[in-house]
């Protein structure tokens, strides 16, 4: 998370973006072997069909056309039987393919129809109610209306397909038997002298018929070996990580590929795959087909080696994302599985930034996603979608502006007491965590729109109360407390929200309790980061807020002493304690300010060796405590020459970086108060030539040094005095006698 005390950093270089855009080649999809089998079978089928055409032409033109009067009755009837048998096989084959394609579809529709009818009877209490079809899924085919009757009858699609398959095998076996019988006779072996041309013509015909039948039987044997013995369809289904109930969809995909290879080029099927097939099924008008297509897409998204390519294709094909977003609102009983799988797909693809932008651009998409938050079973998936979409600040703004979204998210972070939190299951804790993460991302939105969004979050009357309860009752869940502290810190950047947070009973007390816990305990329990976040929250709450400063000190007289004691604690906690004390000093009583000022000598000694943020915090606190310190004690304990040279070195530095914006400001403030408090230090300053450095700083100051808090690149809270004013005061203090 970006610090609210420094502006946003620079954007990443173009080189790093170019490296991230390189995609690794994806492995072959699991259905690749199924497509190759369909290709090989189509080659055999086309070869058999080609030989059948040649045999038919040969029989009709050469034999029945040229030798019809000289053919023996036996050959005439055998040729007629073979032609009829071959015609039966061709007819059975073409229609078997249609029924094979229809069998999974009809079984799917039958099951969907039974679910629909059961739901209607449950709702209306009678099967005599008229058919009501949802507007988003109109039934367009007459066969769909009668699918349940077809499934209930004896002649189902599977049985008709099996009957046609048996007819083909019988036809092929008859062709083999008759052809072999006639080819083995003496007349066709070259011994007959009646009409050699006729014998040769008959031999060619029977050979063509035999070759065609053998190729067809080889094709069937190869198919049975791949599907029956090796279980190709089942294996592909498992490799795709689909359930056993999706085998029908994989079979239907195979028949689609096989049909395309037969109708056009044998290579047409190579351009097909299950992802495109699944996306096409989403646009169908049948619930089971839609569910099958969604399950296929989800299975591919859950495979690490295929997820990236699948996401890209789903995100770039027109209409797919829109269809998935539409499915999120389907509430009928028979649509629950479709809604659940569609939500999981949207959750998977939303992690790609380009897809998240497409989702946001769809009218009503956020409202559809928000509808998932009302369903206990889909609530967690809906929150994951929102979290992945909220990675972009513009998306966060749109989420916050969606009607009813903020109250829902605030409601989901409610816990009444610690006992209720203990009763929450794993999924309920995830819901609580995801809701806090989304609110945190929205609260960290930068710019003017981010300011308005934080105001909207704070205006939800239960926000602060729920965050307080998390701080109070989630001691065993430090991650939840960290998220709550981050939200409070960002909300407190606005002046009105800062006072509202502080006036909520128990907020400051709980944050102080977290910050002041023992360092050893914090380290042992891995809560050091939690203590740091609590310190950041207290720093923002105390910023130019006399009410919050009084609330921090009024609860316990020892609180101020405990914060002072933190200066000698862990360096990271000491830095935050120094920032808190600097803000408190502006509103403390004289007695309390003197108690804080007792640490001034050690602070000045620490400044001589400190660097970075620790130096900045020490300079800021010292500038606030020196006016309340004993002057004789300062002259006795500080090395004026070393301190003057340290400050001179700070002033000689170039304009500060984003991380140390207040370093020069605090150095000038400390220089001014020390010059007024100690004549000896004033002489050391003059000898160090600091007056010249102050004049040079006038050419390097910028407006960014006049702000205390930031929202991205936008300044929020200004310092009371500008840098130009501070430099003028410092020069005046050095010039005064």
* Residue at 78 is within a domain: yes
Other Cβ atoms closer than 10 A to 333 = 12
Q: Beta partners for 714?
A: 711
Residue 615: inside a domain? yes
In a domain, 359, yes or no: no
Which phi-psi region, left, alpha or beta, contains residue 579 (left: φ > 0; alpha: ψ -120 to 50)?
alpha
Distance in angstroms (rounded) separating the CA atoms of residues 362 and 366: 8
* Buried/exposed 342-377: b ≥16 CB within 10 Å, e otherwise: bbbbbbbbbbbeebbebbbeeeebbebbbbbbebee
Query: Which segment of 225-234, 576-585, 685-694 scores lowest on mean pLDDT?
Result: 685-694
**118 has pLDDT over 50:** no
Point out the least confidently predicted range of 16-25, 346-355, 665-674. Answer: 16-25
Q: How far is CA 669 from the centre of its chain?
A: 48
**pLDDT (0 to 100) of residue 140:** 37
Can you give the pLDDT at residue 166? Answer: 79
Whose tokens are 């930031």? That residue is 710
Q: What is the pLDDT of residue 27?
A: 67
Lowest mean pLDDT among 13-17, 160-164, 697-701: 13-17
Confidence of residue 101 (pLDDT cuts 50, 70, 90): low
Q: With H, G, I as helix, E, B as strand and everything else as coil, classify residue 197.
A: helix
- What digits encode the pLDDT tens for the residues 22-57? 455 556 788 888 889 989 988 998 888 888 888 888
- Residue-level pLDDT at 556: 66
End-to-end CA distance of the chain: 49
Of the candidates 474, 464, 469, 560, the one whose C-alpha atom is nearest the C-alpha of residue 503 is 464
Determine the angle formed by the axes of helices 247-263 and 73-124, rounding to 10 degrees: 140
249, 297 contact by CB (below 8 A): no
Beta bridge partners of 361: none
pLDDT tens-digit series, residues 429-448: 999 999 999 999 999 998 88
Contact 101, 252 (CB under 8 A): yes
- At 607, list the tokens: 């400044």
Residue range 132-170, pLDDT digits in tens: 334 344 343 333 434 444 444 445 666 776 777 777 788
As a whole number, mean pLDDT of residues 188-204 equals 65
Using the predicted structure, report yes or no on whether residue 59 has a pLDDT greater than 60: yes
Burial class from Cβ neighbours inside 10 Å (0-12, 13-18, 19+) for residue 594 reads middle
Higher confidence at residue 334 or residue 581?
A: 581
pLDDT confidence band for 95 (50 / 70 / 90) = low
Domain closes at, from 211, 240, 272? 272
Determine, yes or no, domain membership for 432: no
- % helix, strand, coil for the chain, step of 5: 75, 0, 25
pLDDT band at 191 (very low <50, low <70, confident <90, very high): very low
DSSP H helices, 425-570, are 426-443, 447-459, 463-473, 478-491, 495-503, 507-515, 519-524, 528-542, 546-554, 558-565
Complete DSSP assignment for 11-68 = PPPHHHHHHHTPPPPPPPPTTHHHHHHHHHHHHHHHHHHHHHHHHHHIIIIIIHHHST
Q: How many CB atoms lie within 10 A of CB 32?
A: 15
In a domain, 409, yes or no: no
**What domain count does the chain have?**
2
Domain extent, residue 165, equals 32-120+140-272
Instruction: Tell me 258's DSSP state.
Output: H
Name the token pair of 430: 């995830």
Asked whether the beta carbons of 27 and 306 are under 8 A apart, the reply is yes
Among 117-126, 191-200, 505-514, name the one with the lowest average pLDDT.
Answer: 117-126
Among 553, 578, 579, smallest CA distance to 568 is for: 578
644 CB-near residues (< 8 Å, 6+ apart): 681, 684, 685, 687, 688, 690
Band (124; pLDDT cuts 50, 70, 90): very low
Write the CB contacts of 389 (distance below 8 Å, at least 6 apart in sequence): 350, 356, 359, 360, 369, 395, 399
How far, CA to CA in Å, does 65 sit from each of 53, 57, 68, 110, 529? 16, 10, 6, 51, 97
DSSP for 657-706 reads -GGGTTHHHHHHHHHHHHHHH-HHHHHHHHHTTHHHHHHHHTTT--GGGG
Higher per-residue pLDDT: 98 or 324: 324
Decide if 217 contacts 175 (C-beta within 8 A).
no
More confident residue, 49 or 712: 49
Domain boundary among 249, 272, 295: 272
Distances (CA, A) of 604 to 573, 597, 634: 18, 11, 9
Confidence of residue 501 (pLDDT cuts 50, 70, 90): very high
Are 662 and 650 contacting, i.e. CB atoms less than 8 angstroms apart? no
Residue 370 inside a domain? The answer is no
Phi, psi of 707 (to 5 degrees): -110, 145
Q: Determine, yes or no, domain membership for 266.
A: yes
Mean pLDDT of all residues in 419-424: 77
Interval 609-617 mean pLDDT: 88
| Mean pLDDT to the nearest integer, 599-618 | 87
CA atoms within 13 A on the CB side of 548: 27
In the predicted structure, residue 607 carries a pLDDT above the cut 50: yes
Of 623, 587, 579, residue with least CA distance to 604: 623
What gap in Å lies between CA 188 and CA 527, rounded to an integer? 97
Q: Of 500, 501, 617, which Cα lies nearest the Cα of 569? A: 617
Distance CA 585, CA 593 (A): 6
Residue 100's pLDDT band, with cuts at 50, 70 and 90, is low
CA distances in angstroms from 355 to 314, 321, 343, 674, listed in the order given? 9, 8, 14, 59
Helix (H/G/I), strand (E/B), else coil: 714: strand
pLDDT of residue 135: 39
Which of 11-20, 342-351, 524-533, 668-677 shows the highest mean pLDDT?
Answer: 342-351
The confidence score (pLDDT) of residue 6 equals 65
Predicted confidence (pLDDT) at residue 311 exceeds the cutoff of 70: yes
Looking only at Cα atoms, what is the longest distance across the chain?
145
Confidence of residue 454 (pLDDT cuts 50, 70, 90): very high
Which of 12-16, 122-126, 380-384 tops mean pLDDT?
Answer: 380-384
User: Does the pLDDT of residue 564 top 50, yes or no?
Assistant: yes
pLDDT for the residue 715: 81
CATH number at residue 621: 1.25.10.10
pLDDT at 612 over 90: no
Whether pLDDT at 212 is above 80: yes
Pairwise CA distance, residues 85 & 96, whole Å: 16
Q: For 62-110, what is the HEC assignment? A: HHHHHCCCCCCHHHHHHHHHHHHHHHHHHHHHHHHHHHHHHHHHHHHHH
Could you read off the pLDDT of 229-270 as tens digits, one per residue? 888 888 888 888 888 878 888 888 888 888 888 888 888 888
605 contact partners, CB below 8 Å, separation of at least 6: 637, 638
Of the pLDDT bands very low, low, confident and very high (cuts 50, 70, 90), residue 117 is very low
Cα 57 to its chain centre, rounded Å, is 62
% of the chain beyond a pLDDT of 90: 22
Of 575 and 186, which is predicted with more confidence? 575
Q: Tell me the C-alpha distance between 720 and 725, whole Å.
A: 10
Instruction: Please report which residue ranges of 125-183 form alpha helices under DSSP H.
Output: 142-145, 147-152, 157-183
Taking all residues of the chain, what is their mean pLDDT, rounded to a whole number? 80
Helix H or strand E segment including 588: none
In the chain, pLDDT over 70 holds for what percent of residues? 83
Band (pLDDT 50/70/90 cuts) for residue 521 is low
Is the predicted pLDDT of residue 343 greater than 80, yes or no?
Answer: yes
Closest of 592, 541, 540 to residue 564, by C-alpha: 592
Residue-wise pLDDT for 622-663, tens only, equals: 888 888 887 777 767 677 788 888 888 888 877 777 778 888
- What is the C-alpha to C-alpha distance for residues 470 and 499, in angstroms, rounded to an integer? 20
Q: How many CB atoms lie within 10 A of CB 19?
A: 9
- The answer to whether residue 637 is domain-embedded is yes
**pTM of the entire structure?**
0.79
Give the domain-ending residue among 221, 240, 272: 272
What pLDDT, on the 0 to 100 scale, is given for residue 2?
Answer: 59
Continuous H helices in 543-662: 546-554, 558-565, 571-585, 590-597, 600-607, 612-625, 631-637, 640-651
- Quote the tokens at residue 155: 């002649």
């Amino acid at each position: 998370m970006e610090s609210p005390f420094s502006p946003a950093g620079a954007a990443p270089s173009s080189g790093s973006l170019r490296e991230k855009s390189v995609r690794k080649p994806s492995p072959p999809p699991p259905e690749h072997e199924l497509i190759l089998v369909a290709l090989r079978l189509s080659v055999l089928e086309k070869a058999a069909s080609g030989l059948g055409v040649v045999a038919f032409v040969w029989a009709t033109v050469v034999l029945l056309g040229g030798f019809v009067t000289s053919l023996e009755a036996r050959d005439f009837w055998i040729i007629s039987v073979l032609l009829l048998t071959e015609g039966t096989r061709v007819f059975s084959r073409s229609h078997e393919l249609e029924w094979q394609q229809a069998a999974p579809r009809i079984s799917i529709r039958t099951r969907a129809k039974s679910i629909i009818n059961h739901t209607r009877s449950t709702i209306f209490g009678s099967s005599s109610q008229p058919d009501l079809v949802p507007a988003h899924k109109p039934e367009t085919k007459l066969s769909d209306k009668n699918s349940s009757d077809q499934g209930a009858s004896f002649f189902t699609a599977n049985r008709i397909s099996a009957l046609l398959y048996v007819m083909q095998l019988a036809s092929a076996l008859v062709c083999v038997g008759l052809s072999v019988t006639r080819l083995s006779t003496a007349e066709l072996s070259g011994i007959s002298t009646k009409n050699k041309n006729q014998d040769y013509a008959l031999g060619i015909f029977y050979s063509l018929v035999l070759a065609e039948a053998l190729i067809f039987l080889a094709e069937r044997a190869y198919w049975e070996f791949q599907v029956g013995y090796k279980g190709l369809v089942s294996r592909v289904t498992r490799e795709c990580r689909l359930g056993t109930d999706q085998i029908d969809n994989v079979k239907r995909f195979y028949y689609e590929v096989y049909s395309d290879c037969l109708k056009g080029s044998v290579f047409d099927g190579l351009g097909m795959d299950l992802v495109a097939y699944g996306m096409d099924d989403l646009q169908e008008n049948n619930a089971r087909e839609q569910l099958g297509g969604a399950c296929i897409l989800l299975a591919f998204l859950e495979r690490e080696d295929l997820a990236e390519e699948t996401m890209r294709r789903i995100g770039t094909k027109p209409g797919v994302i829109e269809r998935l977003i539409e499915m999120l609102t389907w509430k009928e009983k028979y649509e629950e599985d479709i809604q659940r799988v569609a939500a999981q797909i949207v959750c998977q693809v939303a992690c790609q930034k380009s897809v998240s932008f497409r989702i946001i651009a769809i009218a009503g998409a956020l409202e559809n996603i928000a509808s998932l938050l009302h369903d206990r079973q889909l609530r967690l998936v809906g929150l994951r979608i929102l979290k992945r979409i909220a990675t972009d600040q513009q998306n966060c703004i749109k989420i916050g502006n969606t009607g009813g979204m903020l109250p829902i998210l605030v409601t989901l972070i409610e816990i009444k007491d610690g006992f209720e939190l203990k009763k929450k299951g794993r999924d309920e804790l995830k819901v609580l965590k995801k809701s806090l993460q989304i609110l945190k991302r929205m609260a960290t939105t930068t710019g003017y729109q981010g300011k308005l969004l934080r105001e909207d979050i704070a205006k939800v009357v239960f926000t602060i109360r729920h965050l307080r309860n998390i701080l109070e009752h989630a001691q065993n869940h430090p991650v939840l407390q960290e998220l709550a502290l981050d939200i409070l810190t960002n909300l407190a950047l606005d002046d009105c929200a800062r006072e509202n947070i502080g006036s909520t009973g128990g907020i400051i007390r709980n944050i102080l309790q977290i910050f002041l816990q023992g360092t050893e305990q914090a380290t042992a329990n891995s809560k050091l980061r939690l203590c740091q976040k609590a310190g950041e929250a207290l720093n923002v709450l105390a910023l130019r807020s006399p009410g919050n400063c009084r609330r921090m000190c009024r609860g316990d007289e020892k609180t101020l002493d405990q914060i002072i004691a933190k200066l000698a604690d862990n360096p990271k906690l000491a830095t935050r304690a120094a920032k808190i004390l600097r803000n408190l000093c502006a509103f403390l009583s004289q007695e309390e300010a003197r108690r804080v000022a007792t640490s001034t000598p050690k602070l000045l000694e620490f400044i001589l060796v400190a660097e970075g943020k620790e130096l900045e915090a020490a300079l800021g606190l010292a500038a606030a405590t020196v006016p309340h310190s004993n002057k004789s004690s300062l002259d006795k304990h500080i090395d004026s020459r070393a301190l003057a040279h340290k400050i001179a070195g700070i002033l000689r530095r170039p304009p500060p970086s984003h991380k140390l914006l207040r370093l020069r400001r605090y150095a000038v403030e400390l220089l001014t108060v020390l010059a007024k408090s100690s004549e000896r230090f004033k002489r050391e300053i003059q000898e160090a030539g600091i007056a010249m450095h102050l004049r040079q700083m006038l050419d390097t100051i910028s407006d960014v040094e006049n702000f205390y808090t930031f929202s991205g690149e936008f300044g929020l809270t200004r310092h009371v005095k500008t840098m130009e004013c501070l430099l003028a005061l410092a020069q005046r203090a050095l010039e005064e006698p």
